């Protein structure tokens, strides 16, 4: 029998892996698109207008698709100048506290991102760009990324509290 928590962990890990693959595809398409646009401008004197929009949206996708996996690997930037002066036990307490704060912000992203996606879908809102795109197709990545971040911060809180209990002053 598989425990529910193990199932949730597996789902989150698979979602993070899917997001990394999707983000990698976005990078490849951005690279090909920008290269094509540069060649088009150089060879034919005509710019491809959709490339700028695609690249801007792609950057948003990259940020939200990769954030959960980067957090899982603890790859985000840490400003630990003052934290390193603390005893190991207190350091873990600070890590748990900042993870709670990060998780709260991530849940706000999920909540407001979902409201925005639903609103954009209902209103059939489209972007004001060369080729209008339904906003809901662009914004769904925000609540997904926020959810994966919230799960990662929750895991970090658990890990920090475990380390806090084991650490000595």
Read off the pLDDT of residues 21-44 as tens digits, 9 standing for 90 and up.
999 999 999 999 999 999 998 999
Domain count, the chain: 1
Read off the pLDDT of residues 39-94 as tens digits, 9 standing for 90 and up.
998 999 888 878 888 898 999 999 999 999 999 888 887 788 888 898 889 999 99
**The domain containing residue 63 runs over which residues?**
4-166
Question: Residue 150: which of 72, 86, 76, 91 has the closest Cα?
Answer: 72
Between CA 145 and CA 15 the distance in angstroms is 10
């Amino acid at each position: 029998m598989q425990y529910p928590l193990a199932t949730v962990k597996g789902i989150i890990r698979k979602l993070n892996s899917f997001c990394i693959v999707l983000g990698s595809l976005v990078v490849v398409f951005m690279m090909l698109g920008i290269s094509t646009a540069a060649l088009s401008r150089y060879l034919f004197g005509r710019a491809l207008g959709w490339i700028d929009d695609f690249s801007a949206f792609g950057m948003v996708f990259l940020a939200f698709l990769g954030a959960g996996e980067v957090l899982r690997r603890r790859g985000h930037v840490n400003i630990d100048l003052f934290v390193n002066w603390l005893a190991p036990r207190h350091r873990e307490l600070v890590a748990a506290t900042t993870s709670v704060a990060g998780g709260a912000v991530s849940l706000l992203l999920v909540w407001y991102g979902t409201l925005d996606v639903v609103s954009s879908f209902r209103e059939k809102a489209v972007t004001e760009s060369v080729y209008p795109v339904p906003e809901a197709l662009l914004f769904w990545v925000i609540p997904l990324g926020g959810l994966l971040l919230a799960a990662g911060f929750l895991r970090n809180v658990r890990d920090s509290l475990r380390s806090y209990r084991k650490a000595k002053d």
